[in-house]
Amino acid sequence: MIVLLIVAGLTQYAQGAFSYTTVKLASPITHSVASVTKRIVMISLSVMWFQTPLSLMNTAGVLLTFAGMLAYNMMVMREKMEGKSPKSPLSSVAIGHLPVVNGGGGGNSEEDLI
């Protein structure tokens, strides 16, 4: 039992370190796509391992996810071939220019954002 807890802790630590490195090296959208890919692989492996039947809605969701990942990867490859650097839609947002939400009482003033 203790060995399983140690293995679980080490794998969770490795996943966190890998996630941090991925965010550092790639855009947030690329990290999100990688995270979705991981989830779909884990769901697919668990369905095969435990021989769980999938409903039509589950199958449609998995196929839609794969189609979205394929479309994103094709877009990134096309931008690389055209010589453009793939950018996240959020890459032009500067932290100092985020909108300020008033009335929350939780330190949402402009001075707190700077």
pLDDT of residue 97: 44
Confidence of residue 96 (pLDDT cuts 50, 70, 90): very low
Does some domain include residue 111?
A: no
Does some domain include residue 45?
A: yes
Q: Is 114 exposed, middle or buried (0-12, 13-18, 19+ CB in 10 A)?
A: exposed
| Mean pLDDT within 33-57 | 87
DSSP letter, residue 26: S
Does some domain include residue 39?
A: yes
Does some domain include residue 14?
A: no
| Mean pLDDT within 73-88 | 76
Percentage of the chain beyond pLDDT 70 is: 74
Length of the chain, in residues: 114
Does some domain include residue 47?
A: yes
Cα 66 from Cα 43, distance rounded (Å): 13
Does some domain include residue 105?
A: no
Does some domain include residue 109?
A: no
Domain that holds residue 75: 28-84
CB 37 within 8 A of CB 69: yes
pLDDT of residue 56: 94
pLDDT of residue 26: 82
Cα 13 from Cα 55, distance rounded (Å): 34
pLDDT of residue 99: 47
CA dihedral 75, 78, 84, 90 (to 10 degrees): 0
Q: Is the pLDDT of residue 109 over 80?
A: no
Q: Is the pLDDT of residue 104 over 60?
A: no
Number of domains into which the chain is organized: 1
